[in-house]
Amino acid sequence: MATTPASQASLLLQKQLKDLCKNPVDGFSAGLVNEANIFEWSVTIIGPPDTFYEGGFFNAIMSFPEDYPCNPPVVRFTSEMWHPNVYADGKVCISILHPPGDDPNGYELATERWNPVHTVESIVLSIISMLSSPNDESPANVDAAFNVNSACLQKQWRESREEFRKRVGRCVRKSQEML
C-alpha cells in the first residue's frame, strides 16, 4: 500500500515534534494546538535579546499543508505584532515561507524561497532572525514599514525608529500581560 503525501507529512511532523521535545531550542517553544491534528502547531517565540521585542512572549500558529515538506506552512501571529514583515492579520511574510520556485514578481531568487530541507526549528529561527533584522525593502505591513503620518511616507523603521520602538514596546507589554 502506497503512502499518501499527507501520511508522509504526518510522519515527518511527528518526528520533528519528538525531536523538539527531546532537544528544546532556546528562544521558542512549540507543540500541537490539538493532539488530534499534527498539521497545526502552537508556537511561542521569546522576543530576542537586544531587540525591540526583548521580553515579549509572542504566540503564533503554524499551519502545515498536507504536502509538507514540498510546500511551506503558513505562520500567523496570534499575539499583537508590529513588524514590517508581518501582515495586519498576523501572517508572517519571509522568503522561506513563500512557495518554492521562481518569484512571479521577481523580488526573490528561487534559492531564497521555500526548500523542503527546512524544519519547524529552522522556520522559527528564521522568524526570530526576522524580529532582530526586519526587511524593510519588501514590507508586508506597509503601515509598520512606513510612517503614514508623514507627508513623504518615510519608512518608520528607518526614519522614525523611536515611534517604531514605542509601538513594539506596547506589543511586548501586552504579550507579557497575556501570560
The DSSP secondary structure of the chain, one letter per residue, reads -PPPHHHHHHHHHHHHHHHHHHS--TTEEEEESSTT-TTEEEEEEEPPTTSTTTT-EEEEEEE--TTTTSSPPEEEE-S----TTB-TTSBB--GGGSPSS--TTSSS-GGGS--TT--HHHHHHHHHHHHHS--TTS-S-HHHHB-TTSTT--BHHHH-HHHHHHHHHHHHHHHHHT-
pLDDT at residue 142 in the model: 58
Give the whole-number percent of the chain exceeding pLDDT 70: 88
96: domain CATH number is: 3.10.110.10
Give the pLDDT band (50/70/90) at residue 157.
confident
> Residue 156: which domain range?
5-177
pLDDT for the residue 147: 39
Q: Is the pLDDT of residue 37 over 90?
A: yes
pLDDT at 154: 33
**Which residues form the catalytic set?**
93
Q: Confidence class of residue 81 from pLDDT cuts 50, 70 and 90?
A: very high
pLDDT at residue 150 above 50? Answer: no
Average pLDDT over every residue of 92-114: 91
Give the model's confidence band at 158: pLDDT under 50 very low, under 70 low, under 90 confident, else very high.
Answer: confident
Domains held by the chain: number:
1
Contact between residue 75 and residue 127 where contact means Cβ atoms under 8 Å apart: yes
> Is residue 149 scored above 60 in pLDDT?
no
Model confidence at 29: pLDDT above 90: yes
Mean pLDDT for all residues in the chain: 88
pTM over 0.85, yes/no: yes
**Residue, of 107 and 42, whose pLDDT is higher:** 42
